[in-house]
Amino acid sequence: MDYIRITHIDDPLFADMHALMGRIFPPEEVLEFELWREPLEDPGIRVFVAVHEGRVVGATEYRYYEDDNVAMTDFTIIGEPGLGIGPFLAQHRQQDLQQLATANGKELFGMFAEIYDPYRAERHEFGGVKPMDPFVRREVLAHLGYRKLDFTYVHPSWNNDGEAVSELDLCFLAYGVNTQSLPGALIEKFLRRYYAVLAQKPAAWEDMVSEVGKRQQVALLPL
């Protein structure tokens, strides 16, 4: 299996990846094809696919913010079971992020991720791929060390229609064993920067971000 970076919308592998996203994720979670042009060309956004026997069977997108020394896993897609796609993507992503942090003269502090709450997202089929089932994914990510941040989370729909999506928790994987909370200001800064690409944001999101930014610390809770 090969771990290949995509940097342009005209890469044939991107068309395969976008089709895979459409099969796995609900429509409001998938940015439309043409709107990927600028993100893919952004050197700070890292999009990789797992290619097995010439087919895109998995994908991951993530980014590293040098100033705050944190990363964000945008998504991980396992296209089919039985190939070890999840561990393959996680290991290569981790190696890449460690290299980026080292080049920045630091040890990576941690990584954000939006993780489905299976009790709110159980209606999604996720392409019928069992490793993508919200119950399975949440348990796997809990074993990796992710914990949810202690506030009610919503995010703007990637349809850019101003709708609020409320089936996920904002979570964080801390690499320091003593990290039990995050500064609210860090969370607000991250969210405002991460969703700057979407012009239409729901009022519920604006209220949430403002409120969390006022908190000195936000606890990390078990998933």
pTM: 0.86
Tens digits of residue pLDDT in 75-85: 899 988 889 99
The 3-state DSSP class for residue 60 equals strand
Query: DSSP letter string over 136-187?
Result: HHHHHHHHHTEEEESS---EE-TT-SS-EE-SEEEEEEESSTT--EEEHHHH
Question: Which of 52-61, 98-107, 156-165, 192-201 is least confident?
Answer: 156-165
Contact 17, 121 (CB under 8 A): no
Q: Is the pLDDT of residue 201 over 60?
A: yes
pLDDT digits 0-9 by tens, 9-41 = 999 999 999 999 988 887 777 888 888 998 898
Distance CA 219, CA 57 (A): 36
Report the C-alpha gap between 162 and 157 in whole angstroms.
Answer: 7
